[in-house]
């Protein structure tokens, strides 16, 4: 199951204890995800989801709040993924339609109490939301065909301190979060605590991996730097050897030059330790710089 599906299954299983929240949940489903279908002169409201738990939730809520007899059916999507699609068909006679529009209006007109605001976001996400597996990237979105509904979702998110973006995708408005902290907060607000823990553990592992990679890169850069320095020193020493000969150098320089030619991989510190008496890294570096100056002079003469 995808990260998105797991999150939805978790959310759909949460109980709605308060009546106010149940009405908001059903109204949000109707607003965000359903279509009216007319068949044999009978109007139905149809809501489809790839998630069985989400379909069961709308089935239960509509039976409870509208007193109607919804029907669930399963079909297989014809696209390449061939996922199951669960459709909930709610007979939409006049009484049901009136009850639903009354419910939607009462939800839209009044500022929602906090319990209902959380439920509103949870069901907007259940109806038309998705979240990409945080192992890949951080992206959570809710789509809506209606601009006012999209603005409302963004507004309720804003009341919790979130800062969603809104963009257009064909006929859809997309309300999205791209920041890991914000996605984490959103999952917390809507009650997806298992998804939140999974997100946080993936973030920790990713953070550690980045740190390790940074250290490795840094180490590699240092190794490259010392290899390049060693190659340059060898080139200088060989130039001196070819032109005037190493024995013309002062003894402290010729001994380090010989050691460098014998140990091209050694660090300056290691070269210093091979001397008798040993010399520190900066001492070796100082001698290498003198060798470089001599090589530069010789090069100028050639």
Give me the residues that bind Zn ion (CB under 5 A), please. 18, 20-21, 115-116
Least Cβ distance, residue 16 to Zn ion (angstroms): 8
Whole-angstrom CA distances from 126 to 42, 112, 192 are 27, 19, 11
Least Cβ distance, residue 19 to Zn ion (angstroms): 8
Residue 23 or 268 having the CB closest to Zn ion: 23
Peptide bond into 73 cis (omega under 30): no
Q: Using CA atoms, how far apart are residues 263 and 270, in angstroms rounded to an integer?
A: 9
Least Cβ distance, residue 113 to Zn ion (angstroms): 5
Place of tokens 């759909």: 12
Q: Using CA atoms, how far apart are residues 216 and 214, in angstroms rounded to an integer?
A: 5
Q: Strand ranges (DSSP E) for the chain?
A: 34-39, 42-49, 71-76, 84-91, 129-131, 140-144, 165-169, 172-177
Residue 191 or 283 having the CB closest to Zn ion: 191
171 burial via Cβ count (<10 Å: 0-12, 13-18, 19+): exposed
Whole-angstrom CA distances from 298 to 64, 229, 236, 291 are 96, 19, 10, 11
Least Cβ distance, residue 105 to Zn ion (angstroms): 16
Least Cβ distance, residue 114 to Zn ion (angstroms): 8
Least Cβ distance, residue 18 to Zn ion (angstroms): 5
Contacts of 85 (CB under 8 A, 6+ apart): 48, 49, 50, 74, 75, 76, 77
């Amino acid at each position: 199951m995808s990260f998105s599906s797991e999150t939805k299954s978790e959310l759909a299983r949460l109980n709605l204890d308060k009546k106010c929240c149940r009405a908001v949940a059903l109204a949000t489903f109707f607003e965000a995800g359903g279509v009216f279908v007319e068949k044999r002169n009978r109007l139905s409201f149809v809501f489809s989801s790839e998630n069985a738990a989400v379909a069961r939730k709308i089935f239960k809520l509509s039976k409870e709040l509208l007193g109607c007899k919804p029907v669930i059916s399963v079909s297989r999507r014809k696209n390449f993924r061939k996922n199951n699609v669960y459709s909930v068909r709610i007979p939409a006679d006049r009484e049901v339609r009136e009850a639903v529009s009354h419910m939607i209006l009462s939800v839209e007109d009044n500022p929602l109490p906090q319990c209902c605001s959380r439920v509103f976001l949870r069901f907007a996400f259940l109806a038309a939301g998705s979240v990409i597996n945080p192992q890949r990237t951080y992206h959570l979105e809710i789509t809506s065909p209606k601009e006012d509904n999209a603005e409302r979702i963004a507004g309720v998110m804003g009341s919790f301190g979130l800062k969603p973006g809104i963009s257009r995708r064909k006929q859809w408005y997309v309300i999205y979060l791209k920041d890991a902290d914000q996605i984490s907060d959103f999952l917390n607000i809507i009650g997806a605590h298992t998804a939140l823990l999974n997100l946080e553990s993936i973030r920790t592992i990713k953070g550690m991996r980045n740190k390790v990679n940074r250290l490795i890169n840094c180490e590699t850069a240092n190794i490259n730097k010392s290899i390049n320095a060693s190659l340059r020193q060898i080139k200088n020493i060989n130039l001196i050897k070819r032109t005037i000969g190493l024995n013309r150098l002062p003894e402290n320089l010729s001994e380090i030059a010989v050691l460098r030619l014998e140990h091209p991989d050694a660090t300056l510190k290691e070269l210093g330790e091979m001397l008798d008496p040993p010399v520190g890294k900066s001492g070796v570096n100082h001698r290498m710089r003198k060798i470089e100056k001599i090589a530069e002079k010789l090069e100028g003469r050639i």
